[in-house]
Structure 1
Amino acid sequence: MAVFSVTVEDEDPVRADADARLLFDELWALDLDRVEFAGNGAAPAGSKGLDAASVTTIVVALAGSPVLRQVAMALRDWVNRDSKRKLVVRDGDRRLEITGPVDAEGQRAVEAFLRKEVEG
């Protein structure tokens, strides 16, 4: 099973949080094996809350490649809706930044990044 993370990056933490929730909803609507926030919603005991990355990072799992293109298109479409949006997709040591507008070449790069994780 391929597992990777998608982090919404923004200078404004409130906007990053809101945007991450919007992206989460879009990914949740796809037929994926797992979509969840990295922080899983619970702050560690004794802490003052979750760190920003926990609420702006979404963990995605795919068992195979049938929905890979849908995920890549969802990420592209989400970034293209606002020129200030930025996503960072991580798979272990590999990292791909996605900023809009994403053209056909950028779309192929996103798909290739995800495909390498799925076919790994």
Structure 2
Amino acid sequence: MMQVLLQLSGADDAETDDITLAVRKVLRELPIDAITAPTVAAQPGTRSETAVLVGQLVLTMASTPAVVQAVAAGLAGWLRRQRSRRVLMRIGDAEIELDGPNDDVTARLADAFIAHIEREGR
């Protein structure tokens, strides 16, 4: 298993939250074991002890080439249908930022992450 951090961005927090919900719907169709939102300690004086980071998702999934390729293709398909959207995908210290990728970029993304997984021995 491995964890992948996705960072999404919009014009403001409300738009970023909408984008995050839309991506979550796409990701539910993919071979991902869990989708969670990372949290941080809340500001002093707030009711909650933690706060959700807007625009970020953590994916827990199998570290196989087929799963990485499926997730990359799913994100690329979503990006093709959007205007001015970006997704930052990070596994360990390897990351790639996508904005409106084509199939070649999707293949390079999957290849880079697969190579990283193999180097890390996951």
Quote the Cα distance in structure 2 between the aligned partners of 1:15 and 1:111. 27
Superposition pairs of residues 1-120 of structure 1, within 5 angstroms? 1-39=1-39, 44=42, 46=44, 48=46, 50=51, 54-65=53-64, 66-100=66-100, 102-119=101-118, 120=120
Contact conserved, 1:5 with 1:57, CA < 8 A, in 2?
Answer: yes
Contact conserved, 2:30 with 2:70, CA < 8 A, in 1?
Answer: yes
Deviations 1:48-97 (A, max 9, x none): 4736xx13111012223232221011110111111211011122332211
How many residue pairs get aligned? The number is 115
Contact conserved, 1:2 with 1:117, CA < 8 A, in 2?
Answer: no
Task: Give the alignment's Cα RMSD to 1 decimal.
Answer: 2.3
Residue segments in structure 1 that go unaligned for 5+ positions in a row: none
SS of aligned partner of 2:63: coil
Shift of 1:7: 0.7
SS of aligned partner of 1:90: strand
Shift of 1:27: 0.9
CA 1:47–1:113 in 2, change beyond 3 Å: closer, same or farther?
farther
